Amino acid sequence: MKLRYSLLSPLAAAPRRMSEHASGYDLSACLEAPLILQSGSWGLIPTGLSLEIPPGFEAQVRPRSGLAVKHGITVLNSPGTIDADYRGEIKVILINHGSEAFTIEPNMRIAQLVFAQVISTELEASPELSDTMRSDGGFGHTGH
């Protein structure tokens, strides 16, 4: 499948896969200057990128594992969903769970984009649902 994208700024970087079998495309910060994300704070980071996602697909914005394990930086609404009909700039909500301030540099790889097929469904109201062994057992239901 081919997918079209536009770079909205001369500072923007194209999304790219970092290895042959990578499922995600790295997204880069489209910044003119470094941005400091204090411990416990979050920010909306522009990428300077827009996508034309075909109907029946979505893009998911996910954290980069290296930023998470080394610095406590992750995507706040992970995974963020980009719908097929959105054509605006992709922005990433990063949060700093680390104990120190973190500097986001211009063109730093900040998140990854994974494309997924979306199954179209219709929801139907019903006064009753079928029973299962779990039924309404919630969080920690299995005891493990």
**Residue 19: CATH number of its domain:** 2.70.40.10
Contact 93, 75 (CB under 8 A): yes
pLDDT tens-digit readout, 53-100: 999 999 999 999 999 999 999 999 999 999 999 999 999 999 999 999
Handedness of CA 21, 81, 54, 118 (dihedral sign): positive
Tell me the pLDDT tens digit for each residue of 88-141.
999 999 999 999 999 999 999 999 999 999 999 999 999 999 988 887 777 766
**Range(s) of the domain holding residue 76:** 4-117
Q: List 117's β-bridge partners, or say none.
A: 57
Structural domain includes residue 129: no
Per-residue tokens: 143: 């005891």
Does 133 map to a domain?
A: no
Q: What is the pTM of this model?
A: 0.87
Count the residues in the chain. 144
For residue 90, being part of any structural domain is answered with yes
Is the residue at 122 inside a domain?
A: no
> What pLDDT sits at residue 137?
77
Q: Assess if residue 127 is contained within a domain.
A: no
- Please check whether residue 84 lies inside any domain of the structure: yes
User: What is the domain count for the chain?
Assistant: 1
Residue 135: the pLDDT is 78
